[in-house]
Amino acid sequence: MGNWHDVLSYSGKYLSGLGITLEVSLYALLLSLAIGVVIAIFRVTSSKVLNGFGAAYVEFFQNTPLIIQVFFFYYGSPAMGLNISGLACGTLGLAVYTGAYMGEVFRAGIQAVPKGQMEAARSSGMNYLQAMGYVILPQAVKIILPPLTNQMVNMVKNSAILSTIAVTDLMYQTYLISSDTFIVFEVFIFAALLYLTITVPLSTFANLLERRLQRSS
Amino acid sequence: MTLIRFDKVNKWFGKLHVLRDINLQIREGEVVVVIGPSGSGKSTLLRCINRLEAISEGQLTVDGFRLDDPKTNINLLRQEIGMVFQHFNLYPHKTVLENITLAPIKVRKIAKEEAEKTATFFLEKVGIPEKAQAYPSQLSGGQQQRVAIARGLAMKPKIMLFDEPTSALDPEMINEVLDVMKALAKEGMTMVVVTHEMGFAREVADRVIFMDNGMIVEEGTPEHFFTNPREERAKLFLSKILTGGRASKR
């Protein structure tokens, strides 16, 4: 029990790390959702150029390690003359990576809506974006929600990689506490519990929302 | 006044030649029924009229819009053309009322209240005003198709297109949809109808067009077409479909 007592005495550090992890996750989530929608629309339009760009984006970012993408932004931005904080670089890397997965989730959801829906909407005079916004996406959301939650949870977990570029997130603080106390097991178990305080409510909320959406149709 | 004019229109799907040298003129107020075996190109012909399919060659003019010109603002033209599909294609996440008011509000920019009034008017017209707040999944096929017709009419279009509107319905629901269409025809709506309902064609059509293999093989009044078709292929098709049973009785 002594170890646990030591671990809990660091709760201030843990909480500050948790705060950063939450912050990074939230920004990266918003950004990756936006990237995902754009990439998905690129992949389902009739333009060959946009199709190609969307496909290349997904292939590149899904098939290279997240840590390389994060390093790219972190070490690459000064080389490009940009002065961005590690936090911003990490958020960007995480969003760009997760955006590729979000894009695929959205694409699958959009393509699961029957073709006649788009035809009905377009034949009534709506332009492409109106048809997407009023008819296709609201239906796609129900299909998308479960895999989207998975991606969100993955993203929160993946954010731990940002500790390698000195973002003082939960993982970073956990390392520090561990080297401070020479306790490994309890320190990391506690960090895992804190990650669960983000991810479990996230998937519970998504489940509730999913059930509500199913009822409305 | 000619509302729809096909001039030597050709269309290919890849190597498949689906429309061959189509020449066709449809006047305002005319009811034209297109029949023919499956794969004859009749649905494609219909879908070219609002450019759900683009033509490959020739000229197609609808309500003054040149459909073969890529610069044509197709969304403007589509507001003037209602379309009813074989599988209804109602929006499942919206109520019946919302299905009908969506395009008037978002495309025609009509105020919500007025759009709802119009929607209610057309729902009464198709005989199901009590379903305004229902979702499409709570309706029978016949009711769904009548909502789809009301949805098309609510845009106050100049032309209504029907793509096999009764083919996905149970037999006992076919008449309720045909009755709505007949009433519409009598009010002078310009209608192009792809159907296998020969009774409807005989009773309502001003002109019947028979297509086979991407060509218009024969066209004429229903009397001419059903009693005395010239073309062998039309005769063969009629003999098959009229001995089929239910179609001939209606």
Q: Are A168 and A90 in contact (CB under 8 A)?
A: no
Q: Token digits for A103?
A: 């894009």
Q: What is the mean pLDDT of residues B183-192?
A: 96
Residue A36 counted as domain residue:
yes
Q: Is residue A32 part of a domain?
A: yes
Is B204's pLDDT higher than 90? yes
Per-residue pLDDT tens digits for A5-26: 888 899 999 999 999 999 999 9
**CA atoms within 13 A of residue B46's CA, in its CB half-sphere:** 28
A205, burial (CB in 10 Å: exposed 0-12, middle 13-18, buried 19+): exposed
Strand B31-35 to B207-212 pairing: parallel
User: Does B151 contact A at CB distance below 8 Å?
Assistant: yes
B247 band by pLDDT with thresholds 50, 70 and 90: very low
- pLDDT of B249 > 60? The answer is no
Cβ-contact B127, B139 below 8 angstroms: no
> Distances from the Cα of A147 to the Cαs of A25, B97, B144, B225, in angstroms?
17, 32, 32, 56
Task: Give the CATH number, domain containing residue A25.
Answer: 1.10.3720.10
pLDDT for res A214: 74
Q: How far is A52 from chain B (nearest CA, A)?
A: 21
Structural domains counted in chain A: 1
The continuous run of DSSP H or E covering B195 comes out as: none
Q: Please report whether residue A212 resides in a domain.
A: no
Element holding A206 (H helix, E strand): helix A185-215
Instruction: Give Cβ neighbours of residue A32 (< 8 Å, ≥ 6 apart).
Output: A94, A95, A96, A97, A98, A99, A102, A151, A155
Whole-model pTM? 0.82
Residue of A nearest to B82 (CA): A124
- Which residues in chain A are contacts of B91 at CB distance < 8 A? 117, 120-121, 135, 139
Both tokens assigned to A95: 């969003």
The pLDDT > 90 percentage for chain A reads: 77
Nearest to A134 by CA among B131, B134, B99: B99
Amino acid at B237: F
- Chain B residues closer than 8 Å to A121 by CB: 91, 103
Q: What integer pLDDT is reported at residue A216 of this predicted model?
A: 61
* Dist. CA A106–CA A43, nearest whole Å: 10
In a domain, A206, yes or no: no
User: What residue of A is the nearest CA neighbor of B104?
Assistant: A124
Show residues of chain A in contact with B79, CB under 8 Å: 124-125
Residues 6+ apart with CB under 8 A from A56: none
Interface of B with A in 108-137 (CB under 8 A): 108, 135, 137
Determine the pLDDT at residue B250.
41
For chain B, state the CA radius of gyration: 18
Show the tokens assigned to B228. 């005395």
Q: Which of B160, B130, B154, B128 minimizes the C-alpha distance to B141?
A: B128
Size of interface A-B (CB pairs under 8 A): 63
**Residue A142 lies inside a defined structural domain of this protein:** yes
B31, B97, B107, B152 from B115: Cα distances, Å:
27, 9, 11, 13
The answer to whether the beta carbons of residues A1 and A168 sit under 8 Å apart is no
B7: closest CA among B72, B43, B47, B55? B55
What is the enclosing helix (H) or strand (E) of A153? helix A137-158
Instruction: Check: CB of residue A171 under 8 Å from CB of residue A163.
Output: yes
Can you read off the two tokens belonging to residue A68? Answer: 């390389």
Chain B residues closer than 8 Å to A217 by CB: 92-93, 135, 137
| Partner residue opposite A124 with nearest CB, options B76, B92, B103 | B103
Q: Residue B78 is nearest to which of A117, A125, A138, comparing CB atoms?
A: A125
Q: Enter the DSSP assignment of A60.
A: H
Tokens at residue A120, please? 């009905």
Q: Are B95 and B133 in contact (CB under 8 A)?
A: yes
pLDDT confidence of residue B100: 98
Q: Would you call B204 exposed, middle or buried from its count of C-beta atoms within 10 A (0-12, 13-18, 19+)?
A: buried
pLDDT of residue B242 exceeding 80 = no
Asked whether the beta carbons of B97 and B176 are under 8 A apart, the reply is: no
Q: How far apart are CA B56 and CA B11, in angstroms?
A: 5
Which of B74, B88, B93, B139 has the highest number of chain A CBs within 10 A, making it the mutation to test binding with A? B93
Residues with Cβ < 8 Å from B64, sequence gap 6 or more?
Answer: none
Look-up: residue for tokens 């519990």?
A193
The yes-or-no verdict on residue B243 having pLDDT over 70 is no
Region B235-249: mean pLDDT is 69
CB spacing of A126 vs B107 below 8 angstroms = yes
Q: Is the pLDDT of residue B246 over 70?
A: no
Chain A interface disruption, residue of B96, B105, B106, B122, most A CBs within 10 A: B106
Considering only CB atoms, A125 lies closest to which of B52, B79, B87, namely: B79
The whole-angstrom distance between B124's CA and the closest CA on chain A is: 21
> Chunked in runs of 10, what are the mean pLDDT values of chain A (217 residues)?
84 94 95 94 91 96 94 90 89 96 94 96 96 93 89 94 93 94 93 95 87 71
Percent helix / strand / coil, chain B, rounded to 5:
40, 25, 35
- Comparing CB atoms, the residue among B76, B83, B137 nearest residue A123 is B83
Q: What's the rounded mean pLDDT across residues B246-250?
A: 44
Place of tokens 């009774």: B199
Please give the Cα distance from A201 to A197 (Å, whole number): 7
Domain of A155 in residue numbering reads as 19-170
Choosing among A123, A126, A137, which should be mutated to test the B contact, i.e. which has the most B CBs within 10 A? A123
Distance of CA A151 to the CA centre of its chain: 6
Contact A125 B155 (CB under 8 A): yes
